């Protein structure tokens, strides 16, 4: 942050000639302060308000360390609904390839929300992070039941040789063993 000396004179001293002295009020000073990831997330989303903003933010994100870069990409994902399809696809592509699993999981959830749930689940099932694979397994099982709570007819075992006549047909689910 760069600020004029008159803003900082009451709070900071400057070391000159081995002694602490007041700041020169006519000079501008640059202060280096750590920026929290939450603030980076907000700022990236704010700076990428339009399609042109994404092009300005992405080069900076690539130069950040992993923690701050992940926060900035999450901020870009927060704005994906406000962009055209090409820009949204570019942002999802960047996020799906990001090293941080939290970013990939958020991107997979966005991908599933756009109606591409099978693709999202397939990508998540092969992810290197266990929490992303768990999300895929949970959601794959959740898709076996429709919104009404009844089994999805496409996934119900209707083979009469394997189902007893007196028992309802079983829902096909992956078994833990076997």
Q: How far apart are CA 37 and CA 46, in angstroms?
A: 14
Which pLDDT score, from 0 to 100, does residue 165 have? Answer: 45
Q: How far is CA 81 from CA 67, 69, 77, 145, in A?
A: 24, 20, 8, 28
- The pLDDT value recorded for residue 32 is 75
The pLDDT of residue 7 is 72
Helix axes 66-78, 51-63, angle to 10 degrees: 170
- For helices 51-63 and 37-47, give the axis angle rounded to 10 degrees: 150
Q: What is the pLDDT of residue 96?
A: 95
DSSP-based three-state secondary structure for 55? helix
Say if CB 75 and CB 85 are below 8 A apart: no
- Return averaged pLDDT per consecutive 10 residues of the chain, 178 residues in all: 72 78 77 84 86 83 91 93 88 94 95 89 94 90 57 40 42 49
Which long-range contacts link 114-123 to residues 24+ away (Cβ below 8 Å)? 117/143, 123/96
Name 131's bridge partners.
none
Q: Is the pTM of this model over 0.85?
A: no
Give the model's pLDDT for residue 162.
Answer: 38
Cβ 79 vs Cβ 92: under 8 Å: no
């Amino acid at each position: 942050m760069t600020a004029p000396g008159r803003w900082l004179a009451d709070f900071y001293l400057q070391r000159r000639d081995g002694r602490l002295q007041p700041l020169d009020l006519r000079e501008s000073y640059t202060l280096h302060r750590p920026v929290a990831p939450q603030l980076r997330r907000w700022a990236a989303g704010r700076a990428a308000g339009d399609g042109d903003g994404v092009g300005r933010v992405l080069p900076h994100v690539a130069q950040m360390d992993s923690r701050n870069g992940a926060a900035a990409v999450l901020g870009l994902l927060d704005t994906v609904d406000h962009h055209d399809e090409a820009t949204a696809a570019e942002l999802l592509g960047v996020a799906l390839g990001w090293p941080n699993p939290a970013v990939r999981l958020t991107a997979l959830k966005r991908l599933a929300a756009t109606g591409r749930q099978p693709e999202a689940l397939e990508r998540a099932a092969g992810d290197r992070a266990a929490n992303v694979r768990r999300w895929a397994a949970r959601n794959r099982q959740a898709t076996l039941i429709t919104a009404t709570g009844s089994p999805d007819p496409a996934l119900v075992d209707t083979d009469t040789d394997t189902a007893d006549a007196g028992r309802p047909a079983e829902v096909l689910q992956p078994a833990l063993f076997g």
